[in-house]
Structure formats: C-alpha cells, structure tokens
Structure 1
C-alpha cells in the first residue's frame, strides 16, 4: 500500500471493500513456498491479513507499509510491522525472501524499490510478487480519464502497471536472475458496485474534483461503467490483470 498525496488507507473501509485483494493472494503465496524459520519481508503488507499466514507458517516475518493506519491494523493481528516507504528500504542482506502482494503498482519509482529489495535479500534469496500489470482495470482507468478530460482536468498517474518485458528488464538490470514474469488476466468479482471500489482505490482521481461535485462525479462514473462491468445478476466485475514474478539474488 501507499499513502501518496491523495491516497489514504482506512483499515475499516479496506476490510469492507478491499478484502478480496488479500483473499486472492493465495496463488502467489504458494509460489513463495515459505518454509519454517525463514526470515521474510512482506513489502506493502497492508493490514497484515496475508502476512499473518506467513507467521502461521513458522516464518520470522516483518511487514512494512507506508500507511500508518494499516500498520496499526497489522500489529493488532500480532504481525511484526513498521511504517516504511517501499522506495526507501533500509535493510542489508537480512531476508531469505521478499514477498509482495497487490502493492508494487502503488510505488511509482520501481528502480528504487527493486534496488531496495536487492539490498534486503541475502545472497541466494528470492523475490516473489504479484501486482497490477499492463491493462489492469483498464475499463475503470479509461472511464476516469475520459470523465476528467471532459472537465478539462489532467488525470493523475498514481499506478505503475508494467508489461512483463519491462519488469523483467528492470529486475535484470539490478542483477536478479529472473525465473519467470507472467501476465495473468484475472476478472475479479467486487464486493459492491464500482462506486465503492473508486472510493477505496481511486482517491487520487476523485481528489482532482471539487468536493461539492464528487458525489455527482462518482454517480455518473458508476452509470458509465455499468454496461461493461455489471452482469445480468447485478454483480460487478473488474478487469484485473496481474503480473506475477519470481527472481533470485545470485
């Protein structure tokens, strides 16, 4: 997670509207294959729901996140965690693995993030992650940009959604041996309508709208997205596309 200028994380809101993010982290957790006794850094741990599974697996875990409220929530679960910016990791050869789920797309300085991951890993350590990839929530992004353009407002760029080729290149430039990087389309059922998703995850866009106009802005977006995202049963689906990667430090 991040707490950028216009994106702030509320654990209660996240629990209600974003719990699917950690619930759907099982595939990348299996790829990590955590072993008892391993020291693992969870980069962008959020409220610690997925990090707790590493603790329960017998790992020595530290979660880091730039959102103080989310770190507080993680600590309440019993997860060792501290506030730290993902672009400013200050570890040196401390971890057997660095793990990250649904967080790296919030970190717009990937070279600095990858360099910090490299420093944090012991020689032979591994980096396993999943995050938003090229084309992630494209329907929502395009609708947001169009709605802002209609109001003559420049759209922000809060997310880093790379292609597999781009991300592989960044890892290799740092010196990682890349086992694989893959793009995985994953249509995702939302717990509510897209309005709740926007309020939870698209705050940088909403913040560009004058406060008095935001309710109408969101209502119009929901209706614009209804034909493409809402099925005949009234369920809303987002066009998530994920990057999954596995790399190691020689």
Structure 2
C-alpha cells in the first residue's frame, strides 16, 4: 500500500488476521521457492499482521528479517503478536513506494501486497536500491484478471441506484498487471528477470460467512466509499449478486484468481 492508500483505508488488523488464512497459505507456498541458506537478510514488503514475516524469521535463524507496512494499525498488531518472538525479527512503518534501504538485503519478499500500488516503478527502484549485488526479489500479487467475477459483482452493485452516489469519480484501485506490462518496469529498474508469469489459482472459502469476511477485509476501496452503517447492506448485495440469493449459506464459495509472480536479481 502507498501512504495515500493508508490514509484512505482504515485497516482493522484483528479482522484481517481472522480472514486471511488463504493468503497466509499462499505465502507459505511462495516461501518454498526461496530456498534460503539460513543467514540471509530479508525484507518483507507489505508484512500486514506479521505472521508471514515471523515464519520467514524462523526460516533464517542466522539472518535478519525486517517487515514493513504502510498501515500503522497493521504494524502495531505485528509488533504486539510477533515483536518479541525472535531476536532476528523487526517491523517498521514504511511505504513501499519510498523505501529508504541501501544495499541492506539479500532477499526482498512480498506476497499479496503490491497490487495495492498502482505505479510500481518507484517500488522497483527502491527494491533495486535495497538489494545487495546478486540479491533476489520474489513477489506474488494479484495479476491481470485477478478475481474478475468479484470485480464484476462489485461494479454491478456500485452502479445500482441505491449506491451510485457513493462511487462518483471512483476509479479501479488495484494494480493488476500482466507479465507483458510488468517486464519493462523490472528492466527499467535494473533488475534481471529470472521468471515472470501469471498463475491461475482458485480461492475457496468454506462458507458464505468466510467469503464475506474476505470481502470485508480485502476490498476496502469499495466498502469504505459507503457509510459504515451501510457496510453490511452493501456486502449482502455483492454476495447476492455474486452467488445468487438462494445460495446455501453453508456451501463453500470459490473465486477464480490470477497471481502475478516474478523472481528477479540485482546484477553484480
């Protein structure tokens, strides 16, 4: 997230932590691709509530892990839950678009965070600057076409007469890009691409309630345009539009996702 987005969206860290288990599992899957030696210095961009960052610290017992996020609420929760769990772990309030590190890290890692940023060029320049020569950056985030059925449901509801007044001037708030769009930015930043691809995934929520929790905590740009007292009504309409009014509340809900993943290196 950028600082501008941090000021716009009021994050509830506890609510996010309770409704982000799928993102956590995807982060664990992404970690397997790091193949760490155990002594690297690692930067986790968009660390959120810190639970992924804490696992990374256990992966690197001889190294150091720093988690950053632009949400003060998230950093406070990360510090509360994980700040004293390891001596090689720390958290900082910092915006991904204005990284201040200079050749401090062997690895930069980010999962399910950087799609909150529209302009990735300053982020990539900061990543290049933060990496040591031959350092790696491994990122996975929402890519082009991510959650397209959910986006369509949101757009249908926001255009309804009941809601359209709250969405005057609204523009699509996420940076969902394709490899073709993203590749030039990596090269412009000076990074050497080892792989970049779109990965289709299916996100499965066990019940309608779990799906609603995910919508509530990760689709803030839509929800927070609406007065707080109308949040539940807005979400109910999105759910009915996406699922149909007769969808059983106990049935699992699946969503098609597209994840942009890349691995790149800062040259010697």
Q: TM-score, normalised by structure 1?
A: 0.92
* C-alpha displacement of 1:235: 0.4
1:201 matched to which residue of 2? Answer: 218
Q: Which residue of 2 aligns with 1:180?
A: 195
From 200, 224, 234, the equivalent of 2:241 is 224
Q: Which blocks of at least 5 consecutive residues in structure 1 are unaligned?
A: none
Change (3 A) 1:71 1:191: farther
**Counterpart-to-counterpart distance in 1, 2:54 and 2:117:** 23
Give the secondary structure class of the aligned counterpart of 1:90.
coil
> How many residues in Structure 1 have an aligned counterpart in Structure 2?
249
C-alpha distance in 2 between matches for 1:173 and 1:215: 44
Which residue number corresponds to residue 62 of structure 1?
Answer: 66
Is this contact kept in 2: 1:39–1:61, CA < 8 A?
Answer: yes
CA drift at 1:15 = 2.0
CA distance in 1, matches of 2:206, 2:33: 26
Q: What is the correspondence of 1:1-250 to structure 2 with a 5 Å cutoff?
A: 4-57=6-59, 58=61, 59-75=63-79, 76-77=81-82, 78=85, 79-151=89-161, 152=164, 153-154=167-168, 155-193=170-208, 194-227=211-244, 234-250=251-267
| Residues 156, 205 of structure 1: 8 Å contact kept | no
Distance 1:35-1:96 versus aligned 2 partners, 3 A rule: same
Determine if contact 2:14/2:77 at 8 Å carries over to the other structure.
no
Which secondary structure state, in structure 2, belongs to the residue aligned with residue 170 of structure 1?
helix
Stretches of structure 2 lacking an aligned partner (at least 5 in a row): none
Tell me if structure 2 keeps the 8 A contact 1:7–1:202: no
Which deviates further from its counterpart, 23-32 or 191-200? 191-200
Deviations 1:6-37 (A, max 9, x none): 32322211122112211221222111222211
Q: CA RMSD in A?
A: 2.1
In structure 2, C-alpha distance between the alignment counterparts of 1:149 and 1:110, rounded to whole Å: 29
User: TM-score normalised to the size of structure 2?
Assistant: 0.86
